[in-house]
Amino acid sequence: MTGSAEGADADAESVPRERRAVVAKRVDAGDADLAEITQLAAAAGYETVGELTQTRTEDAAFMFGEGKVAELRDLVRRSDAGAVIVDNDVGPYQTFNIGGELPEGVEVIDRFTLILEIFGQRANTRKAQLQVELAELRYELPRAEAKASLAKRDERPGFMGLGEYDESVERDIKRQISEIQDELESIAAKEEARREQRRDSGFDLVALAGYTNAGKSTLMRRLAAEIDVDENADRHPDLDTTAESQDMLFTTLGTTTRRAEMEKRDVLLTDTVGFIADLPHWLVESFESTLDSVYRADLVLLVVDASEPVEEMREKLVTSHDTLYERNEAPVVTVFNKVDRLAPGELADKRGALSGVAPDPVAVSAKTGAGVAELRDRVEDELPDWERERLVLPVSDEAMSLVSWIHDHGHVDEESYASDQVTVDFEAKPSIVARARSKAAGLAPAEST
């Protein structure tokens, strides 16, 4: 059990009290790790000024033991904190009870409320805003239902000080959820049409997946070309010419698609919001349309922070596989990132230890560029096979237009001219080859061999 204040006086004047937080966590056994919740707090704009942990079974009334809550109260006073962030799923009555023991005005925030706050800050598009609203409503619904049940049972509005119960609130939440789902389905249909249009244009779709802070955004910057795919899309901050990657969770929310630089294939690379441990089902479901970019890709790059301990890497790989293989049919390539942080021989040891969950990973450093060329080759090797075709066309304006179209939609290995014909040897997606044949058939006299 621990409780400590950090820099309570050093930053008191520079950080508003409401953004100064004590982070706390209870675990049933072992030692509580506050590293991730501290990162999440920083991502939401909080300054951590104190820490408290406890190892014991959950207390139904307070989450922590009553003595530990008293210790938490004293820590909040010493550190002049305006918020307590609990790295647990704290029930509504536990939240109320803890808050009643703290100095007036101190907010109690549980893990999922904090994540929703971060999402809300990062939601810059209509789709992202809708997903955040949906998650917030799904978070609130069981609390509204619990309040209704207890209010009816005890026949007293405002049970446990949670406010007067109004049964219309529950109905309104369900109505809003339904309306948001309908709008998200409409957006998803448009995005699917856009994906198919891009495939018809000869692009392969590659998605970056993985936990937050694995380095996905930095890797995207390494792989991406300078051309924006969608002029209306928000530019990813890591891809701005003056921006640096931030060591912060959830620097972006939603998806960003960029054209990647490859030798032969035209690839569109999509970066999505990172996975995070212990997310409840209702929260994952709220961002399902964002995960469609992963589920419907031609290839997924699963990025893992290779500088983390083996057991942590293993746990994240297993969880990621459960998420990806649930609906995804595309091949998955595991990328061990941040290898520049490893000691000599450490990479080989981790490859061996994790061979069961990552049998053939590509090792890279997105920061230095090491291994990125090998990753490009692997991407092209793992994408669905192209067909080879040889077309012999008459020399005409229409034929030259077709040759130009083939260059744009496939990879031309050889192009040769005779007095009255042009021969094009190329590779492309089967759908592109079929369309090229169809276009050539309309060019008389034309020959295909």
Q: Which of 118-127, 259-268, 291-300, 439-448 has the lowest mean pLDDT?
A: 439-448
Residue stretches of the annotated binding site for Mg(2+): 217, 252
State the greatest distance between any 2 C-alpha atoms of the chain, in Å, as a whole number: 95
Has residue 279 got a pLDDT over 80?
Answer: no
What SS3 state is found at 359?
A: coil
Is the pLDDT score of 144 beyond 80? no
**More confident: 113 or 229:** 113
Pick the CATH number of 2-118 from 3.40.50.300, 3.40.50.11060, 3.40.50.2300, 3.40.50.11540: 3.40.50.11060
- Which pLDDT score, from 0 to 100, does residue 184 have? 86
Q: What does the pLDDT read at residue 51?
A: 96
- For the stretch 231-250, pLDDT in tens is 334 443 333 332 234 444 44
More confident residue, 227 or 60: 60
pLDDT for the residue 202 = 72
CA gap 170, 166 in Å, rounded: 8
Residue 108: strand pairing partners: 84
Domain 202-382: give its CATH architecture: 3-Layer(aba) Sandwich (3.40)
3-state SS, residue 118: helix
Q: Give 328's pLDDT tier (boundaries 50, 70, 90).
A: low
What are 206-228's pLDDT values in tens digits? Answer: 989 888 788 888 899 899 864 34
Residue 9's pLDDT is: 47
| Mean pLDDT of all residues in 421-440 | 86
Residue 401: how many other CB atoms lie within 10 Å = 12
Q: Where are the domains of the chain?
A: 2-118, 125-187, 202-382, 387-448
Is residue 124 scored above 80 in pLDDT? Answer: no
* pLDDT at residue 111 greater than cutoff 60: yes
Split at pLDDT 50, 70, 90, the class of 146 is low
Interval 422-430 mean pLDDT = 86
Q: Which segments are annotated as binding site? A: 210-217, 252, 271-274, 337-340, 365-367
Say whether the peptide bond before residue 157 is cis (omega within 30 degrees of 0).
no
Task: Give the span between the Cα atoms of 189 and 173, in whole angstroms.
Answer: 24
Q: Which amino acid is at 208?
A: L
Q: What's the pLDDT tens digit per position in 374-389?
A: 999 999 999 888 888 8
Q: Which of 36-40, 201-205, 274-278 has the lowest mean pLDDT?
A: 274-278
Predicted confidence at residue 440, as pLDDT, reads: 87
Answer whether 188's CB lies under 8 Å from 289's CB.
yes
**Distance set, CA 217 to CA 167, 316, 374, 421 (Å):** 45, 18, 18, 47
According to the model, what pLDDT value does residue 366 have? Answer: 93
Strands 2-5 and 47-55: antiparallel
Two domains, one topology: 2-118 and 202-382: yes
**Which spans in 81-125 are helix H?**
92-101, 111-122
Region of residue 125 (phi > 0: left; psi between -120 and 50: alpha; otherwise: beta): beta
CATH class of 387-448: alpha beta
Place of tokens 């014909």: 421
Q: List the binding residues for GTP.
A: 210-217, 271-274, 337-340, 365-367
